[in-house]
Amino acid sequence: MVSLTADMSPLHPDRNLALELVRATEAAAIRSVPFIGRGAKEAADGAAVDAMRAFLGTVNFDGVIVIGEGEKDNAPMLFNGEHVGTGRGPQCDVAVDPIDGTSLTAAGRNNALSVIAVSDRGAMLDASSVFYMDKLVTGPAGVGVVDIRLPIGENIRRLAKATGKPVEEIVVSVLHRDRHERLIEEIREAGAGTRLMSDGDVAGGINAARHNARTDICVGVGGSPEGIVTACAIKALGGHIQGRLWPRNDDEKQRGLDAGLKFDDFVYEADDLVKGNNTIFVATGVTDGQLVGGVRREGDHIYTESVVLRGASGTLRRISSEHLTSKWL
């Protein structure tokens, strides 16, 4: 077990590590800028991966990537099981997404992020064998109130009562996918509004959990890795997250069973997705969004905006940085 004071030990991630990790997300975001709006999502992702890997190699921690972008044979992606960091310092599980929203980046749309999350070694659920997860995320008002097993209309009514909002003022974020056609209809039939996301459900989940956010719920089937990453952030926000694995076929379900994952309507709660509160989530904006602004280049300077969320202290910090353009040429 990790106590609230354990993050002061060199065996656990601490606040200094959080600030070091920001350098890696900043680098990934900056390197992806030439590809924004150019329709080349693979090139953008490749540039971000290379930059993130280079900066992670300078960070004093012993990290193992639990959630990456593929297996070792798919290098140069940051692959599952890869060791990162100098090997000195705290032993950590690491989740990376050099660009959460590659399609958003390629199209020049909002809400693309560069993301890293870390926790104590062995704390993150490894759900890599099952690509999709059905998720429900709200802010603190949803804790003990909403439940992913209930119909979405019931959850909307429950959250409206808990927050003191009229149902018609509840806004629900959903990935705009064919699989969500009926879900979107049910949300609107309940009287709530929708915010349809083309990509980037990490940002969608965090925005739903933030204080005074524009959305109240983020729901639907998205990536399993994104669910684990979002859970690391939710720990700092005091919000609510639940997930159910959503295998695409029997073979994928069997791979999940072989890996020890649970199905048949089993609900993963926040502590199942990532154990304890000793979590760090960092993100830098690639393009503008509700959570952070995107990278801007103005003459001799590059401007980035990042957030750092620490579960142990329950804090969200914003970091605005100025970088000399000459250092990135």
Per-residue pLDDT reduced to its tens digit, 6-43: 344 455 666 689 889 999 999 999 999 999 999 998 99
Annotate 262-281 with b (16+ C-beta within 10 A) or e (fewer).
Answer: eeeeeebebeebbbbbbbbb
Res 169: pLDDT:
97
Q: What is the mean pLDDT of residues 146-169?
A: 97
Q: Is the pLDDT of residue 311 over 50?
A: yes
More confident residue, 243 or 2: 243
Average pLDDT, the chain: 91
Query: Which residues participate in the annotated binding site for substrate?
Result: 100-102, 132, 177-179, 199-201, 223
pLDDT at 211 over 90: no
| Nearest to 243, CA basis, from 193, 280, 281, 205 | 205
pLDDT of residue 253: 96
- Provide, rounded to the nearest whole percent, the portion of the chain with pLDDT above 90: 82
pLDDT recorded at residue 70: 58
Binding-site residues from annotation: 45, 69, 97, 100-102, 132, 177-179, 199-201, 223, 226
Judge contact between 235 and 270, C-beta under 8 A.
yes
Q: What is the pLDDT of residues 251-272, one digit of tens each?
A: 999 999 999 999 988 999 999 9
User: Band of the pLDDT at 177, cuts 50, 70, 90?
Assistant: very high
Range with the lowest mean pLDDT among 76-80, 143-147, 174-178? Answer: 76-80
Residue-level pLDDT at 329: 73
SS (H, E, C) the chain: CCCCCHHHCCCCCCHHHHHHHHHHHHHHHHHHHHHCCCCCHHHHHHHHHHHHHHHHCCCCCEEEEEECCCCHHHCCCCCCCCEECCCCCCEEEEEEEEEECHHHHHHCCCCCEEEEEEEECCCECCCCCCCEEEEEEECHHHCCCCCCCCCHHHHHHHHHHHHCCCHHHCEEEEECCHHHHHHHHHHHHCCCEEEEECCCHHHHHHHHHCCCCCCCEEEEEEEHHHHHHHHHHHHHHCCEEEEEECCCCHHHHHHHHHCCCCCCCCCECHHHHECCCCCEEEEEECCCCCCCCCCEEECCEEEEEEEEEECCCCEEEEEEEEEEHHHHC
The pLDDT, as a whole number, for residue 12 is 64
- Res 2: pLDDT: 34
Q: Which fold has domain 15-123+276-325?
A: Fructose-1,6-Bisphosphatase; Chain A, domain 1 (3.30.540)
pLDDT in tens, 182-195: 999 999 999 999 99
Span 290-295, average pLDDT: 94
The model's pTM: 0.90
Supply the pLDDT for residue 69.
72
pLDDT of 258 reads 96
Work out the average pLDDT over 110-125. Answer: 95
Write down the domain spans for the chain. Answer: 15-123+276-325, 130-271
From CA 244, how far away is CA 145, in angstroms rounded?
A: 18
Using CA atoms in the order 180, 182, 183, 189, what is the torsion angle rounded to 10 degrees?
A: 150
Q: For the chain, first and last CA: distance in Å?
A: 46
Task: Report the percent of the chain where pLDDT is more than 70.
Answer: 93
pLDDT of residue 58: 93
- Has residue 5 got a pLDDT over 50? no
Q: Binding site residues for Mn(2+), as ranges? A: 45, 69, 97, 100, 226
For residue 168, pLDDT over 90 is answered with: yes
Which CATH code, of 3.40.190.90, 3.30.465.10, 3.40.50.720, 1.10.1040.10, is assigned to 130-271?
Answer: 3.40.190.90
Q: Please report the pLDDT score of residue 15 as a whole number.
A: 66
* Cα separation, 67 vs 87, whole angstroms: 18
